Structure 1
Amino acid sequence: MAPASLTAPRACVQIFDEAPDDVAAREALLDAAFGPARFLKTCERLREGRMPARGLALVARDGERLVATMRMWPIFAGAGRPALLLGPLAVARDYRSLGLGAAMIEEGLCRAAARNHRAVLLVGDAPYYARFGFEGRFTDGLVMPGPVERERFLGLELSKGALEGAEGRVFGAGAREPSAVRPASPELARAA
């Protein structure tokens, strides 16, 4: 897929698929944006040890500099209802208020729809995410695996009715990171 572009007053920024070489810069950007408390957030319970959804880990660069990151993750929004979890989204401090966060979200949602994903959940600022169609009514029957401010727990249907009647706990899904896959214990291997 060709990279999306965003032209800002001080920057010519392009959005790309995240690459393995982006890990250190992405982590530094997330640390600067959220600090160490980011690992304590409820959404992290759904992401830890898992791979982001294929084609939905994005970065924005201004030349060689990584200036934004956003990922989406496979989840289940209640029993048997596949969805995505958006986040974290971070933009470098000196690139904020240029529309880059919105461009990342729009690109991610377009890619998610093109890959036939039907719904997206997130925990975030309701007034900011409302412009993309996220609403609290889509998460009324859902429960996160830890505490969240209810008014910040939002959903978006990419396909009409995708979250209709959704209820129950939200679970992580999708592929595990290779380092998160534990070898079977010798006792389990012998029993198999």
Structure 2
Amino acid sequence: MLIRRETPADIDAIRAVTDLAFKNGPEATLIDWLRADEGWIPEFSLVEDEVLGHVVCTRGYIDEVPVLGLGPIAVHPSHQRVGIGSALVHAVLGAAEARGERAVILLGDPRYYSRFGFRLASEFGITPPVSAWAPHFQARLFGDVPAGAFRYAEPFNRL
């Protein structure tokens, strides 16, 4: 399976896969907003070669320390549970570590994301933007980060 960076030719396919995966929720629009945001980092928008899946990390912060926020991640419903999502997460984490990022933060199911080395963010003193997210708010550290409040790229605030 080939994982590669998004290209402009992939944008419509990414939107379609995201709409299918999230049942036409706001996630595809969020990705469009993120592309226009200063927190967008093109190296962290990855697709499965046929665009059956997509993952993105954007600039987030723990207080004023730059880290990454992972999501959304989407896989075409007809291709879920065959390893595309796992490959995307492994690829984006590898890219983050290789680039020298300190941490990747996400909101998701701990039973799934623990296989990638994510732990509850509260173990590191990192708090979510919404306190109710704490049981699903996770961090994968590659370096030292302070305890503190995490904030996603600005477009997440529009949801």
Q: Under a length normalisation based on structure 2, what TM-score does the superposition of the two structures give?
A: 0.82
Decide which of 150, 153, 156 is 1:172's aligned counterpart. Answer: 153
- CA distance in structure 2 between the aligned counterparts of 1:169 and 1:71, rounded to whole angstroms: 17
Which residue in 2 is equivalent to 1:11?
Answer: none
- Cα–Cα, structure 1 residues 60 and 151, in superposed 2: closer, same or farther, change >3 Å? same
- CA distance in structure 2 between the aligned counterparts of 1:53 and 1:122, rounded to whole angstroms: 16
Shift in Å, 1:141: 3.7
Structure 1 stretches of 5 or more lacking a match?
Answer: 1-5, 7-13, 177-192
- Cα–Cα, structure 1 residues 122 and 139, in superposed 2: closer, same or farther, change >3 Å? farther
- CA distance in structure 1 between the aligned counterparts of 2:36 and 2:132, rounded to whole angstroms: 21
Structure whose alpha-carbon radius of gyration is higher: 1
Decide which of 52, 58, 65 is 2:46's aligned counterpart. Answer: 58
Partner SS state of residue 25, structure 1: helix
Deviations 1:91-126 (A, max 9, x none): 111211111111111111111111111100000111
> What do you get for the CA RMSD once the two structures are aligned?
2.5
Task: Give the partner amino acid of 2:46.
Answer: L
- CA distance in structure 1 between the aligned counterparts of 2:45 and 2:147, rounded to whole angstroms: 26
Greater fraction helix: 2
Partner SS state of residue 113, structure 1: helix
Shift in Å, 1:48: 7.8
1:26 matched to 2:14? The reply is yes
- Cα–Cα, structure 1 residues 35 and 156, in superposed 2: closer, same or farther, change >3 Å? same
Partner SS state of residue 98, structure 1: coil
Which residue in 1 is equivalent to 2:86?
Answer: 102
Q: When the two structures are aligned, how many residues end up with a matched partner?
A: 150
Shift in Å, 1:31: 0.7
Give the alignment of 1:122-161 within 5 angstroms.
122-136=106-120, 137-138=122-123, 140-144=125-129, 146=130, 148-159=132-143
Deviations 1:18-43 (A, max 9, x none): 0011111101111111134335xxx9
Shift in Å, 1:131: 0.7
Shift in Å, 1:150: 1.6
Q: Contact between 2:69 and 2:152, CA under 8 Å: does it hold in 1?
A: no
Structure 2 stretches of 5 or more lacking a match?
Answer: none
Partner SS state of residue 47, structure 2: strand
4+ runs deviating over 4 angstroms:
46-49
